């Protein structure tokens, strides 16, 4: 309570100072520098907007046109970035880490964003395949990716329903300028309803000024191959418009079992800048993925079999099996479009507008034996048929049964910023209206090949005798988001002291329609959540090299849309579905505080941050085991939790022999403050005071970079301590250490070919076989006695098996 009172006083004081100085600060406004440049006989603006990156802020800098000019140059010469591109000079009054294009270009070709940020403090990532084509998982301060807000070019990437992140679909690394990781809180203008645990913001490079391009080709073990090409148009004619178009094709064979993963990916970005701070940009990303999913494992199975795969590589038409690998595909198509732009309306007033559109369509597949003579339509027992097809065995026919998701998601973030000397006031509004259709039809399989007739299960489908198409889920969710925010920043003592305060007020309305019958919550579900989210910060520069900062923020995450609906198979024993709704879930609330110190000298940079957070109504997915042995899943309120910890980051510019070391570390003490409900009973397990699941207590990262302008190389290691899988800490995955090596050579320019480069990347060089992520938590894994004396069976936990050793060779050239 004392901490909350202090935060409220800080908010009120900072806001009062900021607002009262507005009438008087205009007289102190500095003259704007002329940022235009002469080029080809006409005037072109610099690529940055008036919102300078020299103005530290935690309140509103999510749009790429708020980011200022590109500060990264990766072609030729001796590289001098800190830690090999793992650190930059930071002025934000909160914890933030950034990787740059220099670090990204030296990594294995095609790695996804989660893999690229694995060395940063507080980050724990796991990939299920070497190239990251099947996705991956991530925690930050022990909070999962569904609690972290991801943006690309200022628009949201998290799924609007489950808040999941599919990193393989987002971006090609060759086009990335920077990835910013905010370990404690998202910016006030960030478009998220789930970022209770921080944010990851990705920014594309701006198109080049002159005609050119880049070609990259790679090959590695598991028949991994990838090709990437980009064409930069340069300035188009006698205009301010420039753009690039890129394309990549990547594929690999599965390292666990049959099949493989692959994706086609395309991106384009166009920018037009003119005058003093006017920038219009447009980005379009398209991705099409097809691959065989990797199954999770149980602890007992892992201990018995180690690395394994339950999928079968051969199809027997006489004995159809649901474990045939072609029935476990993951086809998905995504299109992201955004047009972040900034306009200078007057000398002191700027407008930033970020409209976007998000489209997705795909599924994760599976197959099950069905009895056409005995089907359930809720409580009603009916029969089924497959169109004109008459299978000989109607008692047990194998049918393809994927989980389809189709998403339409338009939105926009509007922000006005008033700069009046030492003061900056921003007001904004984020609106989004999304529609998500989720179905689970049963579709016919070609008995000759074992493949579904259609990967999206559009037909032929099982139709019930009452005329309904059989579905294990069938929902429509419409989400309307109205978020208003206001922030004020005051710079004092010649920009040595910065005070900020802001308030975001989020209104989220969800309308759901469950087309399945006899559900526990009925066919129509309406949810409405309103939350005021205050934030405040202070940053003080002791001198040019040392600064102190502190911040306090409030964030929230509304329940996932799956918590609104019953779905799955209907059980006549339990009189319910295998996934059960919990429509009364309250939003998850987090209050976080940070206190930090940065040293940013000419050779060494470092930061140390103490952080604390409190969670109320922490949301979890739980698998419940009934006394009968039947199971179902549900969303639960995990009660309250808190954590205290320290993040450390140190890096250098080139020192002896062009070496640039980088070191990161985290210690966290995360505790559950409530006793969690036990599955299948009305009792609770003794979880209060236990260490939080999915949270490693220690993490250490080290990267050593060498680069003399031609020859370059690197060595990195990451240690992650053990992670509990249950709230009572009776099962965990051990800690692990992984190591990577890279080496390469840049040749001199040869004609139109600039910086021809060869490089070799080796990841997980010891081929460590380990469980990398707790995919499914439970109250308890072993039999236990509850608070009220009930005998509680062990719950179901699941784990992701981490990717093995990878070697990849790459050749690239700029044009």
CA distance 251 to 244: 24
**CATH number of the domain residue 798 falls in:** 2.40.170.20
The residue among 671, 685, 675, 590 whose CA lies nearest residue 637 is 675
Cα distances (Å, whole numbers) of residue 519 to 86, 442, 467, 469, 523: 51, 20, 19, 17, 7
Phi-psi category of 456—alpha, beta or left, where left has phi over 0 and alpha has psi -120 to 50? alpha
CA distance 367 to 361: 20
DSSP class of residue 550 equals: E
Q: Which residues pair with 213 in a beta bridge?
A: 231
Q: Residue 11: what pLDDT?
A: 36
CA distance 461 to 402: 12
CA distance 316 to 319: 5
State the residue range of the domain holding 290: 2-814
Residues of the chain with pLDDT under 50: 1-54, 56, 69-77
CA distance 562 to 404: 13
Cα distances (Å, whole numbers) of residue 304 to 295, 299, 726: 16, 9, 21
Q: What is the pTM of this model?
A: 0.90
Q: In this structure, are strands 546-557 and 567-571 parallel, antiparallel, or unpaired?
A: unpaired
Q: Residue 68: what pLDDT?
A: 54
User: Which contiguous run of DSSP H or E holds residue 13?
Assistant: helix 2-25
Q: Residue 793: what pLDDT?
A: 85
Tokens of 754: 């600039």
Q: Residue 627: what pLDDT?
A: 63
Domain total of the chain: 1
């Amino acid at each position: 309570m004392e901490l909350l009172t202090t935060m409220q006083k800080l908010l009120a004081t900072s806001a009062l100072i900021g607002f009262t100085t507005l009438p008087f600060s205009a007289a102190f406004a500095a003259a704007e520098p002329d940022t235009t440049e002469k080029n080809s006989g006409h005037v072109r603006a610099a690529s940055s907007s008036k919102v300078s990156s020299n103005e530290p802020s935690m309140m509103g800098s999510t749009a790429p046109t708020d980011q200022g000019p590109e500060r990264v140059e990766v072609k030729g010469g001796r590289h001098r970035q800190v830690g090999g591109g793992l650190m930059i000079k930071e002025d934000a009054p909160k914890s933030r880490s950034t990787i740059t294009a220099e670090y990204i270009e030296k990594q294995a070709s095609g790695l996804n964003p989660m893999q690229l940020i694995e060395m940063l403090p507080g980050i724990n990532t796991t990939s299920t395949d070497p190239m990251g084509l099947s996705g991956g998982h991530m925690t930050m301060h022990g909070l999962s990716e569904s609690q972290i807000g991801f943006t690309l070019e200022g628009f949201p990437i998290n799924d609007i329903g489950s808040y999941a992140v599919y990193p393989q679909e987002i971006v090609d690394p060759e086009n990335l300028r920077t990835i910013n990781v905010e370990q404690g809180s998202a910016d006030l203008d960030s478009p998220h309803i789930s970022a209770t645990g921080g944010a990851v913001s990705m920014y594309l490079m701006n198109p080049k000024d002159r005609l050119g391009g880049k070609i990259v080709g790679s090959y590695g073990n598991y028949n991994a191959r990838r090709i990437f090409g980009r064409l930069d148009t340069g300035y188009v004619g006698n205009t301010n418009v420039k753009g690039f178009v890129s394309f990549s094709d990547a594929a690999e064979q599965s390292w666990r079992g049959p099949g493989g993963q692959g994706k086609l990916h395309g991106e384009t970005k166009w920018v037009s800048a003119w005058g003093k701070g006017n920038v219009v940009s447009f980005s379009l990303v398209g991705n099409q993925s097809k691959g065989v999913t990797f199954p999770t494992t149980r602890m007992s199975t892992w201990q018995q079999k180690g690395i394994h795969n339950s999928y079968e590589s051969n199809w027997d038409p006489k004995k159809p099996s649901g474990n045939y690998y072609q029935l476990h595909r993951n086809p998905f198509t995504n299109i992201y479009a955004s047009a972040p732009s900034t306009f200078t309306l007057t000398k002191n007033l700027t407008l930033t507008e970020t409209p976007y559109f998000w489209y997705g369509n795909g599924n994760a597949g599976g197959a099950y034996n069905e009895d056409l003579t005995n089907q359930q339509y809720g409580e009603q027992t009916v029969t089924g048929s497959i169109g004109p097809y008459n299978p000989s065995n109607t008692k047990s026919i194998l049918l393809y049964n994927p989980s389809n998701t189709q998403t339409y998601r338009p939105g926009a973030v509007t922000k006005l910023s008033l700069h009046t000397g030492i003061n900056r006031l921003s007001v904004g509004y984020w609106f989004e209206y999304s529609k998500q259709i989720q179905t689970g039809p049963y579709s016919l399989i070609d008995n000759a090949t074992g493949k579904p007739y259609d990967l999206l299960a559009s037909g032929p489908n099982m139709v019930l005798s009452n005329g309904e198409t059989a579905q294990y889920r069938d929902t429509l969710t419409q989400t309307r988001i109205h978020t208003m925010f206001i922030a004020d920043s005051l710079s004092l003592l010649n920009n040595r002291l910065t005070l900020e305060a802001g308030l975001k007020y989020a209104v989220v309305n969800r309308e759901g329609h469950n087309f399945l019958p006899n559900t526990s919550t009925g066919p129509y579900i309406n949810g409405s959540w309103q939350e005021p989210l205050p934030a405040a910060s202070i940053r003080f520069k002791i001198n040019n090299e040392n600064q102190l900062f502190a911040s306090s923020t409030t964030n929230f995450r509304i329940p996932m849309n799956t918590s609104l609906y019953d779905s799955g198979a209907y059980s006549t024993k339990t009189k319910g579905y295998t996934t059960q709704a919990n429509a009364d879930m309250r939003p998850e609330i987090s209050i976080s505080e940070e206190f930090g110190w940065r040293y940013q000298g000419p050779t060494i940079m470092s930061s140390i941050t103490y952080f604390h957070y409190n969670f109320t109504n922490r949301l979890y997915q739980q698998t419940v085991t009934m006394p009968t042995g039947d199971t179902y899943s549900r969303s639960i309120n995990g009660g309250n939790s808190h954590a205290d910890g320290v993040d450390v980051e140190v890096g250098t510019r080139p020192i002896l022999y062009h070496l640039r070391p980088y070191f990161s570390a985290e210690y966290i003490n995360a505790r559950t403050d409530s006793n969690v409900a036990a599955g299948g009973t009305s009792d609770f397990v003794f979880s209060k005071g236990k260490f939080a699941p999915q949270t490693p207590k220690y993490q250490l990262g080290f990267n050593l970079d060498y680069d003399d302008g031609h020859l370059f190389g690197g060595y990195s290691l990451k240690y992650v301590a053990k992670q509990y899988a249950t709230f009572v800490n009776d099962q965990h995955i051990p800690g692990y250490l992984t190591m990577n090596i890279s080496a390469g050579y840049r040749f001199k320019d040869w004609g139109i070919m600039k910086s021809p480069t060869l490089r070799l990347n080796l990841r997980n060089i010891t081929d460590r076989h380990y469980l990398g992520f707790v995919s499914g938590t439970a109250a308890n894994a072993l039999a236990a006695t509850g608070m009220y004396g009930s005998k509680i069976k062990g719950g179901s936990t699941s784990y992701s098996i981490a990717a093995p050793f990878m070697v990849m060779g790459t050749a690239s050239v700029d044009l």
